[in-house]
Amino acid sequence: MKLSYAWLQEHFSAQLPPANALSELITKHIAEVEGVEETAHRYANKMATTDLLGIDLGWKSTEPVPAASGQSLEGIVELADTLIDIDNKSLTHRPDLMGHVGFCRELGALLGIDWSWPPPNVSVLSGVAFPVSVHTNACNRFMAVEMSGVKVEGSALKTQARLEHLGIRSISNIVDITNHVLLGIGQPMHAFDADVIQGEIIVRNAQKGEELIALDGETYALEPTDMVIADAEKVLSIAGIMGGLASGVTKKTTRIVLECANFDATTIRKTSARLGLRSESSMRYEKSLAPEQCQQAILTAIELVLQSCRYAQMTSGITDIFQNKTPQTNILLRPEWLRQVTGLSVPDAEIEKKLMQLGFSVALSGSEFSVDVPWWRATKDIEIEADLVEEVVRMYGLDAIESSLPELQTYMPLQNSTRSFQHKARNVLSQSGWNEVMHYSFHEKTDAKNAVLVQNPLSENQIEMRTSLLKNMLADVESSLRTESKIQLFELGRTYIAPAQETEKIGLLVCSMSESPDDLFFTVKAGVERLGCISVKGVNESPNWAHPNKNGAIFNGEMAIGQIGVLHPALLPDGANGAYAEIEIQSLTATSSVTYIPVSPYPSVKRDISLLVQEKTPEGEIMNAIKQASAVIESVECLDRYADAAALGGDTKSLHMRIMYRSAEKTLKDADIEAENKAVEDILREKYNAEIR
């Protein structure tokens, strides 16, 4: 959007600051200015080369051509001007700044200079209003008036130059008047050829299949979501965007209908985007213009038509259909809160003064200000108390706010135990030969109980939310075993059980074409043990994926947190063995605690022990019993397990255990080790009837 420095100056009682200083003021307090451009000779040279003829319609200027050959056009008509270019994006929420009058209001408040935009001096005809009917709630206000005795010709050179400078092509005196109102007041207008209108004007939604040849010569297909201005027979214009070519003003026009309306911003924006047609009018309507400014706009246009055309006169009263007025907005402003959030020591009187300079009505209500928002700031602009704070601060000066760090207490964030465990699990397992996989949270339909079904599945293979991580992990086994003899996979993810239970879990899967199921079970068990202080115990009920005699529950203390077992052969490719474990992360992290024990500076001593026990005795239980037998046992490891019915007996197995002794207080001597080892053997004989070999 461009501002004319000369036009602004016409409405101030005192000299404005130079254009560059004015642009800096606007940038600081109102909007972003892209640049200042001098236009002293550009338009004068253009008009001189076209012999004062309009480009499109060939209007001759109403001003006389200089009689003296070679005389400068600039010397006769004051065409020089300075333009201030405003970035439109910075005015997104300021529809009142879509015209020069809005900037006069702002600059007057900032500079403390009196300004005026004289009201139109028009005697309104009290006759019958021009017939208009509105059939859509998207038209907030519609005003119209008929005028006759109009002579369509070129505008005064000064008017043409001003429009051209501001980026709008000069067409004729009538069209230029509507654009003059657009740029001055910020209110779009349109002039129809009255002889083309059949019956009354109708504001309605377009009908399916309707088309319009617009003023740009393009044909636009309309939809029922588009709003149009029509008569009894045809569409006259696309409401708020562009008029039709057939109803536009031409040289032959002697009667016109001036239309000034206000339309719903969303409707205009959607139609403009769909048609790919954006105009000066639609750009303004999209900002939510206030319908209250329509009256000033149409009266100004009538006054200018009467001045431009000697024999022009109003032949109807002014139609005014006002459906949706701007609601009155009242906001309570707390001065103490303003000073607190801004850090500025702004007196109450100064707050009141700044707001009143901008046109707000301010009244003291106890310790607060009751502020009435003027209609030109009440359309999606000033809505809450913080908006008023912003107005006071920008008028007071943003540079008055000192830069300082906030005096706020800081706290360490609460630890997310689940997230911490996930990081730990990834690090520990990836360093131990495990590979992480990730899958979708759904799969094909199964017979699982309490499964959650997807209402809009992407495919038949994604109908059911997973109740376990295993099913999707098994999908990787067959293809991986084609190239690898052994795979170790883990996945972190959620499982879902109806009606609304989500559980964070970790699954560990190992499969091999060469290793035995028992070896794979211990591989998974070792991975589980790396994740925390947990133990495995046998249970009566087996999960449906596990071998019925080779599975157990994973415990953290006395709480069952998962399951482990050898995979049922039916789930695996032919010849493959596998084992799997699945743990609930939240149950593990909710009860687990880590105790840090200093590393002993004294050396360790290893002792191996072989024993025969009943085959049904779990190795983990034996290892726990060994640890409890002595206070200086640092670790117990099962190195070998052997079971042969012919050599040892059908219910007997041989275990080879390695015990690590270390004291935190002294170096252990042979006599100490022998005593501790004897205590271990006694416990094994007493508790498990073990035979020490």
| pLDDT greater than 60 at residue 593 | no
| pLDDT greater than 80 at residue 259 | yes
Query: What percentage of the chain carries pLDDT values higher than 90?
Result: 58
Please state the rounded mean pLDDT for residues 483-502: 90
pTM of full prediction above 0.75: no
For the stretch 300-344, pLDDT in tens is: 999 999 999 999 999 999 999 999 999 999 999 999 999 988 888
For the stretch 180-208, pLDDT in tens is: 999 999 999 999 999 999 999 999 999 99
CB under 8 A, 24+ apart: contacts of 45-50? 46/164, 47/73, 47/157, 47/160, 47/161, 48/73
Bridge partners of 53? 60
| pLDDT for res 203 | 97
For the stretch 654-681, pLDDT in tens is: 899 999 999 999 999 999 999 999 999 9
- What token pair was written down for 115? 């300004």
Residues 110 and 29: beta-carbon distance below 8 Å: yes
Phi, psi of 652 (to 5 degrees): -125, 145
Residues 466 and 496: beta-carbon distance below 8 Å: yes
Q: Which is more confident, 656 or 61?
A: 656
| pLDDT greater than 80 at residue 541 | no
- What token pair was written down for 258? 């001036």
Please state the rounded mean pLDDT for residues 259-274: 96
Please state the rounded mean pLDDT for residues 607-632: 88
Q: What whole-number distance in Å separates Cα of residue 254 and Cα of residue 148? A: 6
Tell me the HSE value of 609 on the side-chain side, using a 13 A CA sphere: 27
What is the fold, at CATH topology level, of the domain defined by 417-591? Answer: BirA Bifunctional Protein; domain 2 (3.30.930)
Domain regions of the chain by residue span:
2-111, 132-322, 329-400, 417-591, 605-692
| pLDDT greater than 60 at residue 61 | no
Residues 39 and 83: beta-carbon distance below 8 Å: yes
Label residue 476 exposed, middle or buried (CB < 10 Å: 0-12, 13-18, 19+).
Answer: middle
Q: What whole-number distance in Å separates Cα of residue 570 and Cα of residue 630? A: 44
Of the candidate ranges 259-263, 358-362, 403-407, 417-421, the one whose mean pLDDT is the lowest: 403-407
For the stretch 159-187, pLDDT in tens is: 998 998 998 999 999 999 999 999 999 99
For the stretch 42-53, pLDDT in tens is: 665 555 544 333
For the stretch 397-429, pLDDT in tens is: 888 887 777 777 888 888 888 888 899 899 999
DSSP helix/strand/coil, 353:
helix
The alpha-helical segments, DSSP class H, found in 242-313 are: 265-275, 280-285, 294-308
Q: What whole-number distance in Å separates Cα of residue 388 and Cα of residue 351? A: 10
- Strands 486-497 and 435-436, how do they pair? parallel
Q: What whole-number distance in Å separates Cα of residue 635 and Cα of residue 637? A: 7
Tell me the CATH class for 605-692: alpha beta
Structure confidence at residue 483 as a pLDDT band (50, 70, 90) = confident
| pLDDT for res 642 | 85
DSSP helix/strand/coil, 605:
strand
Please state the rounded mean pLDDT for residues 645-652: 76
Q: What whole-number distance in Å separates Cα of residue 181 and Cα of residue 304? A: 9
Q: What whole-number distance in Å separates Cα of residue 616 and Cα of residue 633? A: 25
| pLDDT greater than 90 at residue 377 | yes
| pLDDT for res 589 | 76
- Quote the mean pLDDT of the chain: 88
Structure confidence at residue 267 as a pLDDT band (50, 70, 90) = very high
How many Å separate Cα 679 from the centre of its chain? 69
| pLDDT for res 43 | 60
Please state the rounded mean pLDDT for residues 372-393: 94
Which one, of 229, 299, 254, lies nearest residue 147 by Cα? 254
Structure confidence at residue 75 as a pLDDT band (50, 70, 90) = low
Please state the rounded mean pLDDT for residues 282-307: 95
Report helix angle 670-688 to 619-629, nearest 10: 140
Structure confidence at residue 60 as a pLDDT band (50, 70, 90) = very low
Q: What whole-number distance in Å separates Cα of residue 415 and Cα of residue 428? A: 20
Q: What whole-number distance in Å separates Cα of residue 468 and Cα of residue 508? A: 12
Residues sharing a CB contact under 8 Å with residue 656, sequence separation 6 or more, in sequence order: 608, 609, 610, 638, 639, 640, 641, 642
Q: What whole-number distance in Å separates Cα of residue 109 and Cα of residue 393? A: 13
Report helix angle 100-111 to 19-29, nearest 10: 90
- What token pair was written down for 150? 């109009």
| pLDDT greater than 70 at residue 72 | no
Cα end-to-end span (Å), the chain: 98
Which one, of 192, 4, 30, lies nearest residue 84 by Cα? 4
Tell me the CATH class for 132-322: alpha beta
What is the fold, at CATH topology level, of the domain defined by 329-400? Answer: Phenylalanyl-tRNA Synthetase; Chain B, domain 1 (3.30.56)
| DSSP code string of 167-226 | T-----HHHHHHHHHHHHH---EEEEEGGG--SSEEEEEPPTT-EEEBTTS-EEE--TTS
| pLDDT for res 78 | 64
Please state the rounded mean pLDDT for residues 230-257: 95
For the stretch 444-470, pLDDT in tens is: 888 778 888 888 888 888 888 999 999
What is the residue whose two structure tokens read 């008509």?
77
Q: What whole-number distance in Å separates Cα of residue 282 and Cα of residue 275? A: 12
